[in-house]
């Protein structure tokens, strides 16, 4: 498997390369800002609404799992050991998705597992965007030696396959709470973000209004955060949204290898990896957490896709 | 999945398994299908194997994979009868102790030859043991020779060895040698069945590394080739003189990354024997294979062990541990979560070991929430009312740890969580550094079939296998007395007394005994016979004539 | 072009050293003593553990270990495994297997990915386009190990179309399933990328020119469009090689392939530093070289690009 994150990023990096065209494109017809234009575009896309609805629902579940089920996800009763297959008509009941090998309600575990996955996805994305974005901004804007150092550093980290690196790093931790997994994935994942931001900053820097601002004597900070960043951040946001789904998927893959989140965190990855052992007789123990995971990743990637299309008129 | 695989050597294995290449009657049970046709004495058996971790040197197989191959290529002095664990002579004519069992005289059978044609003599044994015990030769099982006088000269705790010979080994004549021990060990002969004690030909010492790639032994099979990560081939040694000559033409050990892959090959008859049915198929393998399914118990026990150095268990009343033991529904967990791959334990000593006493644990191993609650209360309760069980996530331990915790939680209301370490190393690291927070999972496969192995080597204050910090003076004294007993029978009896002592003091909570859940292909004639260590007796496996 | 290549090669040296140092440090900060672990549940003999640690140089400080490792490496010595085998031997057995698997996967990725992408791109905005879009999104969303299990369960166990496991890594038929699963994710990306560039280039001036010249449609699509659309796709496939090896850890495990992924996974689990660093070192080299080759390929594909 090519690991999701890296490939997502490289795929989207292309978008980064196109930013020159994207950012410096003269406004057409009605004067609308890039963001206003994008929002207008987004509102008219069914894909956006589908993914947005899904994501709001998922965020709700992650924030308030107790609202969706009254069952205790950690309570196992061996008399229920795989005994109960899913009761697809028992909506929102503990036995809706059946019970797992420990006799725990799969529905409750799927609901309570949402938080960990979303936290990992959002956490890693936030961290890589912050670190990678800043490094990329600095490298792209200042150029010269700083750029060389940051770029070579990026190359070094980029040389290590994402999943392999994550395995080695996480193997070092005995208790892998959410923040540990977030830090480990961010440690290896920031490079793509840095590259994308750097290339879009370089093209934004050359825009006339930036030269104008500089001529007017704007301070470096002002230049960076008022003029360059807002005009260069679009590709970074696109990459980040798409990558988010990839990070969630990566966590599940690591859990499958026994190197993702660890007990007592409830996570889809752990449940999928346990469920995969029962695939023959009790596929429901695998299908429901795997389905939820897929749905979540799907929602994020779809959103990222819609955002990208909206921000990059060339792709329409 | 992968975790389970690479962990396999730990599961069954990391723990040393013994060579049980004994000659047992095999092959008359099973269905008619299995016994249809006739056996082909030249037929090749294909068996599952993972890549051995170390070179194939007799004292360097700490895990079962290398050991499985080694014991087909090497024969030791003695072996054990499956089922009873009684001693049998293989390469030895006799192994006799002196009065206090501190000096042993070994007489070899005459006419034995290594596969390269050189004779097997007393010197072959003495040279082999001296080399293997030498700390410089980096043999993982070198400490097995620690009973022999002069061991510290070749294996000092620090620095270079003073000598390359142990003073306790003396060659008397070509077929006789004596072993002087540092003290009396009444069951020393029983230890001699393990791979470590195999003889080595002269050619070995010229290039031990090359010999580890292509071992030359004295066993029932000749080593042919080792295609790393793929295949190891051994073929029948026609001039073999021992009682356990091969009933087949040879063995092809095939490498698999997962138990699932091996299982699907077994079903399509590409493989004749698998190590263990994968978890994915445990519920159906009996339907899949019919009478070709193998379901045998072997001598290994799994337990949970309190870390006695923690504040929680430092001054614990054993009644609390007894209570916890009674809060675990072993019956139900083995049936459901473990799919019948274990049987509930009712003693510290596993079945099939000399001195095993069924039901030694008495009520302590019975599921009784009411009594459990009462005992825990009587003993002052579990400090903090919360325990954790440390285990390694690279093996399939999570399901049963979760189940045991659930059982305790529900029956006595003590909070219980699994404490997973990513790898076996991390798990061991925490144990060795005394960093276990509450309890940990322990496993033990027999080294030699005497009950002392399940007690002294685990719960003795200074025992190497004691990582929990458990110490009981009374037990130590009794064990010392037992070891010095003049006969094996008396030793065993004294250890049975010691077991009762342990029941009162609870150094661990035995959970269940291991079972082999395996299967054989349709190529196999008769049923595959098993040894006490959970490995097949390969010499007795027969292949159908095609 | 020669000078450009030489400069690029020189630039690789610091990156190479940096990456190996990074992975070396990552491996050696791991807790747990891999030597002690050889004894398993049984007690280890401290003297023997110390002797073995010394044998593998694990009693040295990390910086010294790294320098020794690199010095040996430049003499072609990758060190040895805990089992006493040369790491180079282990790798020379495993790499061909993974290479075969990866090449097979890349072939599937190119044929199916570009095919699907081209189809969607030519019909942009129509049903095939949406169909391919949804399909690729789904493929991207399913974790690879779930995909692996499902593929085996359906294609091998239920339908019996392909072999469920690999017995012989030189049998292409048996390699199909793992290669297919390995290729799926990248294939989805290739399809999307191809679709985008196709749709974009369809509107390019040279296409209009070609149409105006009256060239047959087959030639326009097959030569002009395809050639111009391939650059980003090739870049992507090139940068994806590292990900393939990461993915091989999972696919090889599920399908019993004795390749690099398996070797690596085992090494990570037993903290066998020499093997991990050795394999990653080779990987980094391969990835760096592929990137160079791709940059040089640009010039071939796009006459506008010339390297001085």
Give the residue from chain B lying closest to C31, CA to CA.
B426
Write down the H helix ranges in A143-266.
144-158, 162-171, 178-205, 208-215, 220-222, 229-256
How many whole angstroms separate alpha carbon B151 and alpha carbon B170?
Answer: 14
Mean pLDDT of all residues in C193-198 = 84
Lowest mean pLDDT among B105-119, B249-263, B319-333, B497-511: B249-263
Q: How far is CA C239 from CA A9, A190, C234, C287, in A?
A: 11, 16, 9, 7
Say if residue B1's pLDDT is above 70: no
Q: Which of C189, C276, C287 sits opposite A7 (nearest CB)?
A: C189
Has residue C103 got a pLDDT over 50? Answer: yes
pLDDT at A8 over 90: no
pLDDT single digits (tens) B431-446: 878 889 999 998 888 8
Q: Is C260 on the interface with B (CB under 8 A)?
A: no
Q: List chain C residues with CB under 8 Å of A256.
A: 143, 145, 250
- CB-closest option in A81, A171, A256 to B422: A171
Contact pairs from chain A to chain C, CB under 8 Å: 171
CA closest to C251 among chain B residues: B2
Q: What percent of chain B has pLDDT over 90?
A: 55
Neighbours of chain B (3+ CB pairs under 8 A): A, C
Q: Do A176 and B426 touch (CB under 8 A)?
A: no
> What average pLDDT does the segment A247-257 reach?
88
Nearest to A102 among B281, B393, B402 (CB): B402
Per-residue model confidence as pLDDT tens digits over A103-159: 888 888 999 999 999 999 999 999 999 999 999 999 988 888 999 889 888 888 887
Question: Among A37-46, B405-414, B516-525, C254-263, which stretch is predicted with the lowest mean pLDDT?
Answer: A37-46
Note whether B403 contacts A281, CB cutoff 8 Å: no
Q: Are B137 and B200 in contact (CB under 8 A)?
A: no
Phi, psi of B511 (to 5 degrees): -105, -60
Q: Residue A165's closest chain C neighbor by CA?
A: C23
**How many angstroms away from the CA of C134 is the closest CA of chain B?**
30
Q: What is the pLDDT of residue A82?
A: 61
B17 touches B534 (CB < 8 A) = yes
Residue B150, pLDDT above cutoff 90:
yes
How confident is the model at residue B27, as a pLDDT? 37
**pLDDT average, residue stretch B468-487:** 89
Tell me the pLDDT band of B304, cut-offs 50, 70 and 90.
Answer: very high
CB contact under 8 A, B422 and A174: yes
For A:248-277, CB contacts with C below 8 A are 249, 252-253, 256-257, 272, 276
Higher pLDDT, B3 or B70: B70
pLDDT of residue A19: 40
Rounded mean pLDDT, A163-189: 85
The confidence band for C77, taking pLDDT boundaries of 50, 70 and 90, is confident
Whether B24 shows a pLDDT value over 60: the answer reads no
Average pLDDT over residues B186-204: 91
A1 lies within 8 A of chain B by CB: no
Nearest-angstrom CA–CA distance, B59 and C85: 17
Query: For residue A3, is pLDDT > 50?
Result: no
Q: Is C208 on the interface with B (CB under 8 A)?
A: no
Nearest chain A alpha carbon to B429: A174
Closest-CA residue of chain A to B417: A264
- Give C-chain residues touching A169 at CB under 8 angstroms: 26
CB contact under 8 A, B428 and C36: yes
Beta carbons of A102 and B337 less than 8 Å apart: yes
Minimum CA–CA partner of C35 in chain B: B425
Summarised one tens digit per residue, pLDDT across range A258-300 is 788 877 788 888 888 888 877 777 888 888 999 999 999 889 8
Angle ∠(C130,C131,C134) on CA atoms, nearest 5: 85
Residue of chain A whose alpha carbon sits nearest to that of B421? A174
Find the mean pLDDT for residues A72-99. Answer: 73
Q: Report residue B17's pLDDT band, with 50, 70 and 90 as the boundaries.
A: very low
Residue of chain A whose Cα is closest to the Cα of B427 = A174
Contact across the interface for C243 and A294, Cβ inside 8 Å: no
| Sequence-separated (6 or more) residues with CB below 8 Å from residue C4 | C296, C307, C308
**Domain spans of chain A, in order of start:** 32-58+113-266+295-315
pLDDT value at residue B58 = 92
A262: closest chain B residue by CA: B420
Q: Is residue C222 less than 8 Å (CB to CB) from chain A?
A: no
Q: Which residues numbered 163-192 in C keep a CB inside 8 Å of some CB on B?
A: 164-165, 167
Q: What pLDDT does residue A5 have? A: 40
Which residues of chain A neighbour C248 with C-beta distances below 8 Å?
1
**What SS3 state is found at B495?**
helix
Query: Which of these ranges, A25-39, B172-186, B274-288, B421-435, has the smallest mean pLDDT?
Result: A25-39
pLDDT on residue C80? 83
Q: What does the pLDDT read at residue A11?
A: 39
Mean pLDDT, chain A, integer: 79
| Highest-pLDDT range among A235-249, B80-94, B219-233 | B219-233
- Say yes or no: A293 contacts chain C, CB-CB below 8 A: yes
Which of A1, A75, A76, A172 to mutate: most B Cβ within 10 Å? A76
State whether A294 and C143 contact (CB < 8 Å): yes
Range with the poorest average pLDDT among A40-44, A164-168, B361-365, B489-493 = A40-44
Give the nearest chain B residue to A270 (CA atoms). Answer: B398
- Set of chain B residues whose Cβ sits within 8 Å of the Cβ of C249: 2
Q: Residue A179: name the closest of A250, A239, A127, A129 by CA.
A: A127
Look up residue B106 and give its two tokens.
């070994």
pLDDT for the residue numbered B76: 94
- Which chains reach chain A with 3 or more Cβ–Cβ distances below 8 angstroms? B, C
When mean pLDDT is compared over B229-238, B459-468, C230-239, the highest value belongs to B229-238
The pLDDT score that the predictor gives to residue B20 is: 32
Which residue of chain C comes nearest to B158, CA vs CA?
Answer: C47
Percent of chain B at pLDDT exceeding 70: 94
B50-91 pLDDT tens trace: 888 888 999 887 777 888 999 999 999 999 887 677 889 999
Q: Domain spanning A32-58+113-266+295-315 has what CATH number?
A: 1.10.3720.10
Would you call A286 and C146 a contact, using CB atoms and an 8 Å cutoff?
Answer: yes
Q: Name every chain B residue with its beta carbon within 8 A of the beta carbon of C33.
A: 425, 428-429, 432
- pLDDT confidence of B108, banded at 50, 70, 90? very high
Query: Is the Cβ pair B1, C254 closer than 8 Å?
Result: yes
Q: Does A75 touch chain B (CB under 8 A)?
A: yes
Can you point out the beta strands (E) in B351-508?
386-392, 415-421, 439-445
Question: CB under 8 Å to C26, separation ≥6 — which residues?
Answer: A165, A168, A169, A172
pLDDT at res. A29? 53
- Contact residues, C window 112-151, toward B, CB-based 8 Å cutoff: none
Nearest CA to C132 out of C194, C182, C177 is that of C194
C52 touches chain B (CB under 8 A): yes
Point out the residue among C14, C23, C242 whose CB comes nearest to the CB of A152. C14
Beta-bridge mates of residue B516: B296
β-pair type (B44-49, B250-255): parallel
| Residue-level pLDDT at A32 | 64
More confident residue, A311 or C118: C118
CB contact under 8 A, A258 and B426: no
Chains B and C: how many Cβ contacts under 8 Å?
143
Please tell me the distance in Å from A83's CA to the nearest CA on chain B: 10
- Mean pLDDT over B33-51 rounds to 87
Asked if the C-beta of A24 comes within 8 angstroms of chain C's C-beta atoms, the answer is: no
Q: Residue A84 has what pLDDT? A: 60
Given a cut of 70, whether residue B29 has pLDDT beyond it is no
Please say if the pLDDT value at position A93 is more than 50. Answer: yes
Q: Regarding predicted confidence, which is higher, C247 or B4?
A: C247
Helix (H) / strand (E) containing B544: strand B542-544
Name the residue among C145, C148, C283 with its Cβ closest to that of A161: C283
Verify cis geometry, omega within 30 degrees of 0, for the bond prior to B224: no
Interface of C with B in 72-111 (CB under 8 A): 82-85, 89-90, 93-94
User: Picking from A102-106, B4-8, B365-369, C258-262, which range would have the lowest pLDDT averaged per residue?
Assistant: B4-8
pTM beyond 0.80: the answer is no
What does the pLDDT look like over B284-295, one tens digit per residue?
888 889 889 999
Q: Which has more pLDDT, A14 or A313?
A: A313
Q: Read off the pLDDT of each residue in A229-243 and give the average, rounded to a whole number.
A: 82
- B499: closest CA among B345, B385, B384, B393? B345
Which of A158-167, B191-200, B297-306, C236-245 bottoms out in mean pLDDT, i.e. has the lowest? C236-245
Separation between Cα atoms, residue B475 and residue B488, nearest integer Å: 18
Cα of B422 to nearest chain A Cα, Å: 6
CB contact under 8 A, B2 and A174: no
Tell me: pLDDT of A1 over 50.
no
Q: Out of B210-214, B402-406, C22-26, which region has the weakest mean confidence (pLDDT)?
A: C22-26
Within an 8 Å CB–CB cutoff, is residue C32 touching chain B? yes
Instruction: Find the CB nearest C27 among A163, A168, A256.
Output: A168
From the list A76, A173, A256, which residue is nearest B402 (CB)?
A76
């Amino acid at each position: 498997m090519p690991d999701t994150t890296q490939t997502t990023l490289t795929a989207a990096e292309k978008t980064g390369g196109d930013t020159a065209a994207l950012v410096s494109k003269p406004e057409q017809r009605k004067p609308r800002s890039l963001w206003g234009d994008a929002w207008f575009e987004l509102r008219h896309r069914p894909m956006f609404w589908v993914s947005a609805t899904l994501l709001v629902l998922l965020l709700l579940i992650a924030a308030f799992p107790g609202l969706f089920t009254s069952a205790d996800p950690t309570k196992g009763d061996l008399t229920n050991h795989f005994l109960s297959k899913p009761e697809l008509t028992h909506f929102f009941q503990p036995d809706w998705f059946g019970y797992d090998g420990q006799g725990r309600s799969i529905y409750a575990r799927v609901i309570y597992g949402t938080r960990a996955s979303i936290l990992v996805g959002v956490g890693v994305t936030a961290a890589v965007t912050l670190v990678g974005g800043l490094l990329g901004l600095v490298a792209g804007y200042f150029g010269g030696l700083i750029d060389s150092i940051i770029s070579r550093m990026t190359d070094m980290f980029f040389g290590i396959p994402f999943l392999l690196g994550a395995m080695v790093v996480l193997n070092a931790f005995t208790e892998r709470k959410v923040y540990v997994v977030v830090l480990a994935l961010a440690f290896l994942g920031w490079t793509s973000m840095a590259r994308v931001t750097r290339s879009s900053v370089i093209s934004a820097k050359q825009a006339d209004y930036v030269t104008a601002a500089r001529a007017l004597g704007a301070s470096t900070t002002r230049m960076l955060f008022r003029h360059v960043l807002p005009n260069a951040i679009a590709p970074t946001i696109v990459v980040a949204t798409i990558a988010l789904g990839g990070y969630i998927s990566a966590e599940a893959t690591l859990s499958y290898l026994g190197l993702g989140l660890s007990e007592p965190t409830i996570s889809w990855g752990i449940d999928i990896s346990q469920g995969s052992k029962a695939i023959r007789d009790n596929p429901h123990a695998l299908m429901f957490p795997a389905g939820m995971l897929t749905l979540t990743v799907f929602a994020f990637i779809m959103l990222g896709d819609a955002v990208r299309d909206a921000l990059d008129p060339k792709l329409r | 999945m992968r975790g389970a695989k690479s962990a396999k050597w730990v599961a069954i294995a990391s723990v040393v398994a013994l060579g049980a290449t004994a000659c047992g009657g095999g092959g008359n049970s099973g269905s008619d299908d299995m016994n249809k046709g006739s056996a082909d004495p030249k037929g090749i058996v294909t068996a599952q194997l993972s890549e051995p971790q170390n070179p194939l040197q007799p004292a360097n197989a700490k895990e079962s994979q290398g050991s499985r191959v080694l014991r087909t290529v090497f024969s030791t002095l003695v072996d054990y009868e499956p089922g009873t664990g009684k001693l049998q002579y293989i390469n030895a004519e006799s192994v006799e102790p002196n009065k206090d069992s501190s000096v042993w005289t070994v007489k070899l059978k005459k006419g034995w030859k290594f596969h390269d044609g050189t004779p097997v003599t007393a010197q072959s044994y003495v040279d082999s043991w001296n080399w293997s015990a030498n700390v410089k030769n980096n043999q993982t099982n070198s400490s097995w020779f620690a009973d022999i006088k002069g061991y510290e000269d070749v294996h000092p705790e620090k620095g270079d060895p003073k000598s390359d010979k142990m003073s306790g080994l003396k060659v008397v004549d070509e077929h006789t040698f004596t072993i002087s021990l540092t003290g009396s060990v009444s069951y020393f002969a029983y230890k001699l069945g393990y791979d470590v004690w195999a003889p080595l030909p002269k050619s070995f010492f010229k290039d031990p590394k090359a010999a580890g790639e292509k071992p030359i032994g004295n066993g029932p099979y000749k080593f042919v080739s080792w295609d790393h990560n793929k295949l190891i081939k051994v073929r029948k040694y026609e001039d073999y003189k021992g009682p356990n000559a091969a009933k087949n033409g040879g063995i092809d050990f095939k490498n698999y990354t997962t138990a699932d892959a091996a299982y699907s090959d077994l079903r399509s008859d590409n493989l004749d024997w698998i190590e263990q049915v994968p978890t994915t198929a445990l519920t159906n393998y009996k339907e899949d294979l019919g009478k070709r399914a193998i379901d045998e118990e072997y001598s290994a026990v799994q337990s949970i062990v309190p870390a006695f150095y923690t504040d929680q268990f430092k001054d614990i009343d054993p009644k609390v541990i007894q209570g916890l033991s009674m809060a675990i529904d072993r019956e139900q967990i083995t049936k459901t979560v473990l799919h019948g791959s274990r049987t509930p334990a009712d003693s510290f000593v596993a079945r099939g070991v000399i001195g095993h006493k069924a039901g030694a644990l008495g009520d302590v191993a019975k599921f009784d929430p009411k009594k459990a609650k009462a005992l825990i209360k009587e003993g002052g309760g579990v400090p903090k009312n919360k325990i954790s069980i440390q285990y390694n996530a690279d093996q399939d331990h999570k399901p049963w740890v979760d189940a045991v915790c659930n059982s305790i939680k529900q029956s006595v209301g003590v909070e219980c969580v699994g404490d997973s370490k990513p790898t076996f190393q991390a798990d061991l690291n925490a144990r060795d550094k005394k960093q276990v927070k509450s309890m940990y999972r322990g496993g033990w496969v027999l080294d030699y079939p005497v009950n002392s192995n399940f007690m002294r080597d685990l719960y003795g204050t200074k025992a190497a296998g004691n990582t929990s910090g458990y110490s009981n003076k009374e037990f130590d004294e009794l064990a010392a007395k037992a070891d010095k007993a003049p006969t094996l029978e008396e030793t065993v009896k004294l250890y049975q007394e010691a077991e009762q002592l342990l029941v009162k003091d609870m150094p661990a909570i035995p959970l269940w005994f291991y079972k082999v859940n395996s299967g054989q292909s349709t190529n196999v004639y008769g049923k595959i016979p098993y040894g006490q260590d959970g490995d097949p007796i390969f010499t007795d496996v027969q292949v159908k004539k095609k | 072009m020669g000078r450009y290549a030489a400069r690029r090669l020189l630039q690789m040296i610091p990156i190479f050293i940096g990456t190996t140092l990074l992975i070396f440090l990552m491996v050696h900060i791991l807790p747990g003593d891999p030597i002690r672990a050889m004894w398993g549940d049984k007690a280890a003999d401290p003297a023997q553990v110390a002797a073995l640690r010394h044998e593998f140089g694990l009693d040295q400080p990390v910086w010294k270990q790294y320098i020794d490792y690199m010095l040996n490496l430049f003499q072609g010595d990758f060190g040895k495994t805990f089992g006493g085998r040369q790491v180079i031997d282990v790798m020379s057995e495993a790499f061909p297997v993974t290479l075969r698997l990866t090449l097979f996967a890349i072939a599937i990725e190119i044929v199916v990915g570009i095919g699907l992408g081209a189809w969607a791109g030519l019909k942009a905005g129509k049903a095939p386009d949406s169909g391919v879009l949804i399909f690729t999104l789904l493929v991207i969303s399913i974790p690879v190990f779930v995909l692996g299990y499902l593929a085996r369960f359906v294609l091998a166990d239920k339908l019996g179309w392909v072999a469920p496991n690999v017995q012989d890594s030189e049998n292409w038929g048996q390699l199909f399933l793992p290669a297919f699963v390995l290729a799926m994710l990248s294939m989805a990306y290739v399809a999307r990328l191809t679709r985008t560039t196709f749709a974009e280039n369809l509107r390019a001036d040279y296409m209009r020119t070609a149409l105006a010249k009256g060239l047959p449609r087959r030639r326009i699509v097959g030569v002009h469009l395809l050639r111009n659309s391939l650059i980003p796709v090739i870049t992507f496939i090139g940068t994806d090689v590292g990900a393939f090896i990461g993915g091989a850890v999972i696919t090889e495990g599920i399908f019993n392939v004795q390749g690099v992924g398996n070797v690596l996974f085992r090494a990570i689990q037993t903290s066998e530093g020499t093997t991990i660093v050795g394999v990653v070192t080779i990987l980094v080299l391969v990835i760096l070289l592929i990137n160079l080759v791709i940059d040089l390929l640009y010039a071939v594909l796009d006459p506008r690009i010339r390297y001085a």
